[in-house]
Structure 1
Amino acid sequence: MKNHDQVFSNRQRLSIARRLFDGSKDVAFSPYGEYWRQLRSIIVHQLLSNKMVQSFRRVREEETSLMIGQIKVALGRKYGDGEHGRKAKDTLAEFIQILGVYKGLCVPWLAWLNRFNGLDARVKRVVKQIDQFIEGVIEEHRNKAVADTTETTCSDSLDILLPIQREKLFAIEHDSIKAVILDMFEGGTDTTHTIMEWAMAELPRHPKILKQLQNEVRQKANVKSEITEDDLDKMQCLKAVIKDVLRLHAPVPLLLARESTQDAKVMGYDSSAGTQVLVNAWQLEEIQTFWDNPEGFSQRDS
């Protein structure tokens, strides 16, 4: 990936991803090119800028306090309450589940089985439900913008994307906006609660580290009822725990599939253009060359 970065920078066009993300118009699955570069620039410099991330601090702390375990900042308000909210969360969970299905990816000629095992019908149903939900949210934001013309600050991701579309600063289509919002949802919820669950599983197995972490939390919290983001920078044990959980239990062990754009030689092997590439991130994090105790949980455990 280091020596042949541009050769393997392209995404493989997956049938399921194309259907879930409006023709792969998001940043995670779109092919490498000018569209991807401009969309990525918008996300990095505007949606995920330090100012934007800090503006969601109140939401993060509120959600953490409620022990929900999911950070819902993409759309500016909660969409998880009531019957409608429950259905939206169930649909999102199924959306992520379907996205992780790789039948027909490793063996492309078996993709026809999806017509008979129910996967195609399931994808069609989830796409329709997700589309109705996102369309409703976008319409809500457009109505809000018309009603309040004095608002000068952006409160969420859509409040940035819609003006870019309206002012034609970048050729971002309606479907592209929906796909980017789904990227924010999918990338910011499933990965977060996956890591939280692994952390809760590892800590009881390592009582010494658990005790250190508990003492650190008590010291930083002192008489406060909650830890704030201002406290996190001073919590070195917590940082070590998070880093090791990420190392041992990558939320996406096999990174999203890539596709080579031209012939290349990798570690002595010839790779032809169009070759599917799967990066084993989990294995990379277990290499003894880089870690003194690759299978151990935190160097503090040694």
Structure 2
Amino acid sequence: MPVNASSESIEPKPLEPGLYIVATPIGNLGDITLRAIDVLRAVSVIACEDTRVTGKLLKACCVKTRMQRYDDHASPAVRKKLIETAINEPVALVSDAGTPLVSDPGYRLVRDAREAGVNVTTIPGACAAVAGLTLSGLPNDRFLFAGFLPVKDKARSDVLAQLGGIEATLIFYETGPRLERSLKAIAQVWPTREIAVARELTKLHEECRTGTAEELVDHYSDHPPKGEIVLLVGPPMQETNDIDADDLLKDALQEMSASKAAGKVARATGLDRQTLYARAVELKQQ
């Protein structure tokens, strides 16, 4: 680690009672912040998803604070005990990697802590969604984090349909074994959108590959990815000059009705569905 976090001469400052939300590295341990180390040393207990994962980080930072497992399966009693402790002592909340509460169950603890009058403080740091966005080259003035796509095909398709008209870059978390199926689903509804797959973030083999969903399917079918992945989808195209809607409609009309063709092209491009439908009817009559 580039930071001399192991120095025994650095004494952590006393902390006020409360709940401290501490971001941890998403890969490279050097991304831990000095403030995060100080807080983890000073709290009375660290609530974490997996004590084995967090234990490795604490060992690297020479932190000896007691850990308490807190994950999706933690009972309300465990949450209540943590809040009772935070009323009188400082308590830290961490996830296995990155910023807590981003696609993990920590929000329940924060919500209940606030209701109990516990002071809540955030210690910001690494976040895979933001790191992936910065690598992708996709528009970042507006973006939507949508968590994990559903596992089942219909549910996944329904979610993609709901998000189709949002004029923002979409950010999903995905796993290696599920990536190809998700890309195939995206290729069906958004064949022309630019896609980015960011993986191994902050690690030795970090990569960010871009292209259409179909192009990425071709790549990853031959090179199965491992680990956790950030999957990004560019926003709908806003100018008809960027895409020939007639060509897309003609292709779609070979397999479906004018109404369905208009819907498919609207989801892919962000163009008005009624306008596309009227044009699809014209093309079908030609």
Q: Quick one: higher RCO (CA 8 Å, sep 6+), 1 or 2?
A: 1
What interval of TM-score do these two structures reach, taking the shorter chain for normalisation? under 0.3
* TM-score, with structure 1 as normaliser: 0.23
Structure (1/2) with the larger strand percentage: 2
Structure whose CA Rg is larger: 2
Structure (1/2) with the larger helix percentage: 1
